[in-house]
Amino acid sequence: MAHLGVGIGWRPEIADAVERLSGLDWVEVVAENVCPGHLPESLLRLRERGTLVVPHGVSLGLGGADRPDPAKLAALGERAVALGAPLVTEHIAFVRTSSPVLEAGHLLPVPRTRDALDVLCENVRIAQDALPVPLALENIAALFSWPGEELTEGQFLTELVERTGVRLLIDVANLHTNRINRGEDPAAVLDAIPLEALAYVHVAGGVERGGVWHDTHAHPVPPVVLDLLAELRSRVEPAGVLLERDDDFPAEAELAGELAAIRAVVTAGPAAPGRPATAGSGPAVTGPGTEPGTEPGTEPPGAEPRPVEESTRTRVALGQAALLSALVAGTPVPEGFDRRRIRVQARALAAKRADVVAKLAPELPVILGGPDAYREVFLSYAKGRPMTSGYRRDALDFAEDLLIRDLPADPAARRRLTAWWQDRAGARPPRRIVRWARTLVGRAA
């Protein structure tokens, strides 16, 4: 691991400010938001200045029951090469199910069970073999816990590292989130995990509502999260620390102030005696050109890891499908889950879905009479139409659903929506007889 220093998440909304920030060592970019052949000019200028750029993936779903999508792996690898990145990062999470086909549009926690760990480890090895650079995985923030978990967070992460050699991206804001929402002790997690495998650290803000901490990335970093960064810093000197901000972007001076506060914590003093000083001494990452079984806790040298039995993947798939269906399709909440927390998560997923579609298609709120009117109509639509593909497809499906129901009521607005849909879908909107037929079929179902 190269030394990264203090960085910030690059976002188009703050691109100019990021370029002007003094003392910035590196940036992280959401991998799915950039195209290798058409990198934003701002990122190109940063690279020319020698600023490292690390792609951060959000859609692989390595904790899901299915094996990683080769196309998504290839796309992530292409971005790493295009950006000259020293590594790529993703999340310990699941984001979709294949039976039924459902998309969460968000990172959801995997159960800390032996079955889920076996599936995750095999998926990680598949990803490592496909990627051209090392992989690091992030602990996620969660609103709820799975029933019947067999491992603590520390045990789960430690065994993941031992069996795959993957590096860790520790988000201290997520440790705080899980302290509030799941009753987990951040210090105990930091004491248990192999910090020699640390790639870098995330810091972000959030807000507490009704006893639930929401990891918004849209609020200032609270002192309690900086305290956790100091806790981690007392154990190990991280190779890099990065500030994440995804919405409600503050003034440039405020961003600079948050980076200064982070830098002050990182440079406050030496790491605890006996702990690694940098991430460079961590376990080698299994990937192209390496052999399985070379890391502590894995199979003997020369032995291939045993493939996960399909029955194991099936058990994980059934549990994840039942949960995701309850969250996005309104089916009953599986036994053992905190129903109140699941309702909070379901509302949060629907709200995020509405916000992302509005960002991707800013014309829709305008056509539908403003943000409030748009949000009301979209949330009503979302209750009966779970997302089955990405957000861009979701925007088109939402518009088509309105047209099928002869909405909006204003003819001029409906004509504008028709033109918008046709321009992006590349097809004619359904004729009236087709709309009636689909409506009748829906009623019959």
Mean pLDDT within 26-44: 95
In this prediction, what percent of the chain has a pLDDT beyond 70? 87
| Nearest-angstrom CA–CA distance, 369 and 172 | 40
At residue 129 the predicted structure's pLDDT band, cuts being 50, 70 and 90, is very high
Over residues 183-209, the mean pLDDT reads 97
pLDDT, residue 284, reads 38
**Burial classification of residue 431, based on how many CB atoms lie within 10 Å of its CB (0-12 exposed, 13-18 middle, 19 or more buried):** exposed
Query: Mean pLDDT, to the nearest integer, of 354-380?
Result: 97
What pLDDT shows up at residue 293? Answer: 39
What is the average pLDDT score of the chain? Answer: 90
Q: Report pLDDT digits (tens) over 262-306.
A: 999 999 876 665 444 443 334 433 333 333 333 434 455 446 788
CA-CA distance, 443 to 445, in Å (whole number)?
5
* pLDDT exceeds 50 at position 340: yes
Q: How confident is the model at residue 43 (pLDDT cuts 50, 70, 90)?
A: very high
Q: State the Cα–Cα distance between residues 421 and 423, nearest whole angstrom.
A: 6
Tokens of 404: 């099928």
Q: Looking at residues 177-202, what average pLDDT do you find?
A: 97
Q: What is the pTM of this model?
A: 0.88
Q: Is the pLDDT of residue 120 over 60?
A: yes
Instruction: Report, as an integer, the average pLDDT of 42-48.
Output: 96
Supply the pLDDT for residue 304.
75
Pairing outcome for strands 5-10 and 240-243: parallel
pLDDT tens digits, 201-245: 999 999 999 899 999 999 999 999 999 999 999 999 999 999 999
| Percent of the chain residues topping a pLDDT of 90 | 85
**What is residue 305's predicted lDDT score, i.e. its pLDDT?**
84
Q: Which pLDDT value is given to residue 434?
A: 54
- State the Cα–Cα distance between residues 125 and 297, nearest whole angstrom: 15
- pLDDT the model gives residue 296: 38
Rounded Cα gap, residues 167 and 239, in angstroms: 12
Looking at residue 291, its pLDDT comes to 39
For the segment 118-131, the average pLDDT, to the nearest whole number, is 98
